Structures are given as C-alpha cells and as structure tokens.
C-alpha cells in the first residue's frame, strides 16, 4: 500500500434540502483508483451531504486500515471548518463535524485539502449516479 492514500469525498443535494447522496473515491498516491463508494442519504442539505461524505470516507478508510490520508473536498465550508478556520454556526452541522473530528483521531495523519470542483469529478459523478438511480425508482 502507498505511503499516503488520497480520498476524494463529495456530497450533493438536489433542491437543497432535498434528495441527497455521497460519493467517495479512494486512490493511491499515484492516482490509481482502489475503491469507489456511493450512498443515498435521503433528505438533507448540500452541506449535510458534504459532511456525510467526509464521515463515510473516514469510516471506510478505518475499515481498510489506512493510516495516512489526504482527504480532498471541493466544499470550502466543510474543509475550512475541519481545518479550524471557520466556526460551525449551523446547529445541524455540529454533530457531523464532531463525528468527522473524532474519526480523524483514528489515523496517524489526515491532511484536509480543499480542491476545485473540476478535480473532484469522479466523486461528483458517483453522487449524481446515485441520485439519478433513485429518481428512476420513484
């Protein structure tokens, strides 16, 4: 296994709040995809879905026994909250922040990187595939 595992996390909500999903892509430090995940979340805001994606990514990394993570998100709000640069003003986000913060303690190293949306296309695609497949069910 590579020294550092890169995890792309994305969450999305249609109509905000509305039907929501998450997408997570786990790669090695060379960009080779190791795992992909997506999950329907039900009714949530976009920010809640983004946090759920981070929590899910950290839970999967723990199951995979990954120790050194670079977690990439295109959400400036979530990224800066996890970096301690923004306060968590939304009471609905506080429990998700605490869950993500506590999960970080299970790893040797977790770097949070805020990336442009264009660099998070694979995770975003998983979100949209999950939401599109749900639309067909109803």
Classify burial at 127, counting beta carbons within 10 Å of its beta carbon; exposed 0-12, middle 13-18, buried 19 or more. Answer: buried
pLDDT at 3: 80
Give the CATH number of the domain where residue 58 resides. Answer: 3.30.420.10
pLDDT band with cut points at 50, 70 and 90 for residue 136 = low
Tell me what pLDDT residue 92 has.
96
In this prediction, residue 2 carries a pLDDT of 46
Bridge partners of 7, per DSSP, are: 26, 71
In the chain, the number of structural domains is 1
The reported pLDDT for the residue numbered 137 is: 59
Domain that holds residue 36: 5-137
Strand order in the sheet with 68-73: 33-44, 18-27, 5-13, 68-73, 109-114
Give the tens place of pLDDT for each residue, 5-42: 999 999 999 999 999 999 999 999 999 999 999 999 99
Close Cβ partners of 119 (under 8 Å, ≥ 6 residues apart): 72, 74
Q: What is the pLDDT of residues 62-108, one digit of tens each?
A: 999 999 999 999 999 999 999 999 999 999 999 999 999 999 999 99
């Amino acid at each position: 296994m590579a020294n550092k595992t890169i995890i792309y996390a994305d969450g999305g909500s249609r109509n905000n709040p509305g039907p929501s999903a998450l997408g997570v892509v786990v790669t090695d430090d060379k960009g080779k995809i190791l795992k992909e995940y997506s999950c329907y979340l039900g009714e949530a805001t976009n920010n809640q879905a983004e946090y759920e994606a981070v929590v899910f990514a950290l839970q999967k990394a723990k199951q995979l026994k990954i120790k050194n993570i670079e977690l990439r998100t295109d959400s400036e709000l979530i990224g800066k909250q996890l970096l301690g640069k923004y306060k968590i003003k939304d009471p609905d986000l506080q429990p998700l922040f605490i869950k993500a913060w506590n999960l970080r303690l299970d790893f040797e190293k977790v770097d949070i990187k805020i990336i442009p949306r264009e660099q998070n296309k694979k995770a975003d695609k998983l979100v949209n595939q999950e939401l599109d497949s749900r639309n067909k069910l109803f």
